[in-house]
Amino acid sequence: MKRHQDLRTTVISFFLLSALALNLCGCKKEAADTSCIETSADTEVTWVSELQESSESLETVLTSESTENPVTGETTETSESYAADPEAIQRLVEEIVMDYGYYGSEADERIDSLLTDLRAEDEITGMRWSEIMDLWRSPDFGRTLNYDVLPDGLPDTDELCIVVLGFQLNPDGTMRDELINRLNVALRSAEKYPNAYIVCTGGGTAYDNDSATEAGEMARWLEEQGIAKERIIVEDNSLTTAQNAIYTYNILTSDYPSVRYIAIVSSDYHIATGELLFTAEVVLKAPVPGEEKLKVISNASWDAPSGSLSAMFQAGALIELSGDTATAFDIYYDNYDIHELPALD
């Protein structure tokens, strides 16, 4: 930026000095017939004013920036660079997400307005969150569930990765029945697609056993059932579904470049949240919209007898993905003051 400013200053100075030189040369040429050198005060003021206006005009040209939209390819000119306000962006994101989490489709009009405001603040961020909200607000969101095993027609190559979402361990570090049931679905899916990787994701959630992790126990169980160790990827740091998405994305994009597609395995009530958060993480981490490195393409679920996750929980998880973990955990633990949200008109 400083280099650009120095160049602008140099060019403007050259312009002013050139204009002065030309004026003086003109005065010498006309000296025999006019009193150009001995100009009146009014003439000097007029001449200086014209130079200032010219330099201001040049300044506008030099500070203009040509920006190209990475998606549409359209070029726009701006008279000055604009630095987006991160705090304003975060406020908009959280209001958008919280409005939908609390009000649902009743807030659609306000959400659309807020998304427009977000794009005005930062075009790329607005595009990312528009895509996420389109998925979340879709009438088909969470409706496609494949029970017991992944469906036919998925890539039978190492482009596919089956991601098994964890579940809290017993205090001694052993797995609860719900997690074992999820693993049975993952096992059948892994046998159906023998070239796919399998991510076991989940951290330490055993109160009385610090060494046990969900992912570690899951991986050990799958190996005992005959799944080759080299197919299993262990992500054992996450404690929330949002963190499942964050850490799994980082591992796959850093260490497994062949992987392009993700299939989520979990309990049926958890699938929609898992697909939303993994897709959102992919969208948010893309270099630019349209250049996503991974894609969530399917799911397989265990038919749980009970369980549910609210839209407010999903809102908290999206806010966690956005970087505001404090607000996210307030929502998870019902400490968020919902009255802070503006009422719908």
How confident is residue 37, by pLDDT bands cut at 50, 70 and 90?
very low
Rounded mean pLDDT, 281-290: 96
For residue 49, is it within any domain?
no
For residues 339 and 318, what is the distance between their CA atoms, to the nearest angstrom? Answer: 20
In three-state secondary structure terms, 318 is: helix
User: How far does the chain reach from its first CA to its final CA, in angstroms?
Assistant: 44
Cα 322 from Cα 313, distance rounded (Å) = 14
pLDDT value for 15: 39
Report, as an integer, the average pLDDT of 174-195: 98
Structural domain contains residue 294: yes
46 versus 217: which is more confidently predicted?
A: 217
Q: At what angle do helices 311-322 and 241-255 cross, to 10 degrees?
A: 40
Confidence of residue 344 (pLDDT cuts 50, 70, 90): confident
pLDDT of residue 49: 44
Residue 6 banded pLDDT, cuts 50, 70, 90: very low
pLDDT at 24 over 80: no
pLDDT digits (tens, 9 = 90+) for 291-326: 999 999 999 999 999 999 999 999 999 999 999 999
Question: What is 239-301 written as a DSSP string?
Answer: -SHHHHHHHHHHHHHHH-TT--EEEEEEEHHHHHHHHHHHHHHHHHHSSSTT--S-EEEEEEE
In which band, very low, low, confident or very high, does the pLDDT at 264 lie, cut at 50, 70 and 90?
Answer: very high
Say if CB 238 and CB 246 are below 8 A apart. yes
Quote the number of domains for the chain.
Answer: 2
- Specify the range with the lowest mean pLDDT, choosing from 9-18, 146-155, 328-337: 9-18
Nearest 5 degrees, angle CA 267-CA 270-CA 276? 140
Say if residue 233 is in the same domain as residue 132: no
pLDDT above 90 coverage of the chain, percent: 72
CA 150 to chain centre: 28
Instruction: Flag whether pLDDT at 13 surpasses 70.
Output: no
pLDDT in tens, 105-134: 999 999 999 999 999 999 999 999 999 999
Same domain, 199 and 178: yes
pLDDT for 83: 76
Of 212 and 82, the one with more pLDDT: 212
184 and 255 assigned to the same domain: yes
pLDDT over 90 at 225, yes or no: yes
Establish if 51 belongs to a structural domain: no
CATH number at residue 177: 3.40.50.620
The pLDDT value given to residue 108:
97
* pLDDT of the residue at 69: 55
Q: Are 152 and 188 in contact (CB under 8 A)?
A: no
In a domain, 146, yes or no: no
pTM equals 0.77
- Flag whether pLDDT at 68 surpasses 90: no
Q: Contact, 76 vs 67, CB < 8 A?
A: yes
Do residues 109 and 208 both lie within one domain? no
Co-location of 167 and 278 in the same domain: yes
304 with 164, same domain: the answer is yes
Neighbours of 243 (CB within 10 A): 20
**Domain shared by 304 and 326, yes or no:** no
pLDDT band for position 162 (cuts 50, 70, 90): very high
For the beta carbon of residue 208, count every other beta carbon within 10 angstroms: 10
328, 226: one domain: no
| Domain-embedded: residue 38 | no
Mark whether 291 and 337 lie in a shared domain.
no
- Domain-embedded: residue 24: no
Together in a domain, 321 and 247: no
- Mean pLDDT in the chain? 83
- H helices of 161-240, in order, are 177-192, 214-224
Same domain, 332 and 290: no
Full domain range(s) for residue 297: 160-308
Per-residue DSSP letters for 49-97? HHHHHHHHHHHHHHH-EEEE-TTT--EEEESS-----HHHHHHHHHHHH
Regarding whether 176 and 287 lie in a shared domain, the answer is yes
CA atoms within 13 A on the CB side of 210: 0
Mean pLDDT within 261-286: 98
Highest mean pLDDT pick, 43-47, 69-73, 240-244, 333-337: 240-244
Q: Is residue 255 part of a domain?
A: yes
The verdict on residue 235 lying in a domain is yes
Asked whether 337 and 189 are in contact (CB, 8 A), the reply is no
